[in-house]
Amino acid sequence: MIAYIEVPPSVDLLDKEAKALGNAIIKSLSTAGTPMKLDRDTDLFSCVTDGWVSIDKGIFNYYHRNKMVRLYETGDLLPLTSLGSASECRCVSDFGTAIRIFGSQEIADHLAAHPGDIVHFLRYTAVQSTLMHILCASYSSDDLHPDFTIRAFDPGTIIIAEGAPALEIYQMIQGIAVVTVKNVEVGMVESGEVFGEISFFTESARSATVTAKTECSVQVMRKDEFLSLAKLKPSVNLAISKTLSQRLVETNKKIAGQP
C-alpha cells in the first residue's frame, strides 16, 4: 500500500516498478551500506542527511508540510535528496525500524565502476519523483489530513484476543496472521485484508483470536479514523463487503454440510 487515499491504477503500477527497480539497485550495489536501527517516532531526516536509505524492516509515514503523503515499507529504497528538505518534510515510523544507508559518495563510486547501472538509477529517481508529485497533488485539498496508526507484531504475538472489546478495526499492511476460534484454526489474514470488522460494526466482543504468523505491520483504526479512511479510500468499503460476503458463503456451506 502506497497511500491512504484512493489512487489510480497508474500510480500502483509506478509503485510496483519503483519497488522492482529499487530491489535491483540494492542487489547491484558493490557496498553493503551502513546498518542503523531507529526508535519509534525518529525522523529519518534528522539522522540521515545524505545519500540513499534502504528499509530492511518497518514502515515509514512520509509527511510534506504536515500532511501525511505516502508510506514507505520494507524493501523500499529512498533517495533522500529527491524527497525534499528537512524543513518541509518528515519521515517517521510508529515503531522501531532497521535501515541501511548508502552515502552519495558510495553511490558515485559504484556508478563510476559500473556505468551500465546509471540508467536504472535515473529511471528510479524519475519514477519516485513522479509518484511524489502525483501524491502531493492528490493531498492538496485542505480537508485531507490522513494520519493513522501502524503497529508491528512479531510472529506468535496476538493481534486480536477472543472475547476482548472491539474498539478498533484493522488492515494488514504486510504479513500473514492466523485466525482461531477456541484454539481451532479457522482462517488466515493476508496483506491488504481488513479484519476484526464484524465485532467492530456490531459493537460485540471479539469472536476470534488473530495471531501473527509472520512479522506483521497492521494499520489500526478507531471509529472516527475508519470513517476518515472510508472517505479517502472508498475501495476499503468494497474490500470489507467482499470479506463479509465470503464469510457468509463459507458459513452457509458449513450449515449445509458442504466442504
DSSP annotation of 6 reads: -
- How many other C-beta atoms can be found within 10 angstroms of the C-beta atom of residue 207? 16
Low-confidence stretches of the chain (pLDDT beneath 70):
1-7, 30, 84, 86, 138-148, 229-239, 244-245, 247-259
The pLDDT value recorded for residue 142 is 47
Instruction: Write down the pLDDT at residue 87.
Output: 76
Task: For helices 9-28 and 118-138, give the axis angle rounded to 10 degrees.
Answer: 150
Tracing cell 470489507 back to the chain, one arrives at 240
Identical fold for domains 9-138 and 149-256, yes or no, is: yes
Domain boundaries, the chain: 9-138, 149-256
Contact 124, 80 (CB under 8 A): no
Which pLDDT does position 45 carry in this prediction?
87
3-state secondary structure of 203: coil
Single pTM value for the model? 0.66
- Please state, in angstroms and rounded to a whole number, the distance separating the CA atoms of residues 63 and 84: 10
CATH class (in words) of the domain with range 149-256: mainly beta
pLDDT digits (tens, 9 = 90+) for 109-152: 888 988 888 988 888 888 888 887 777 776 655 454 555 688 88
Q: How far apart are CA 221 and CA 225, in angstroms?
A: 5
Amino acid 10: pLDDT: 79
Matching residue, cell 504486510: 174
pLDDT value of position 203: 85
Q: And the C-alpha cell for 135? A: 501524491
Q: What is the CATH number of domain 9-138?
A: 2.60.120.10
Average pLDDT, the chain: 82
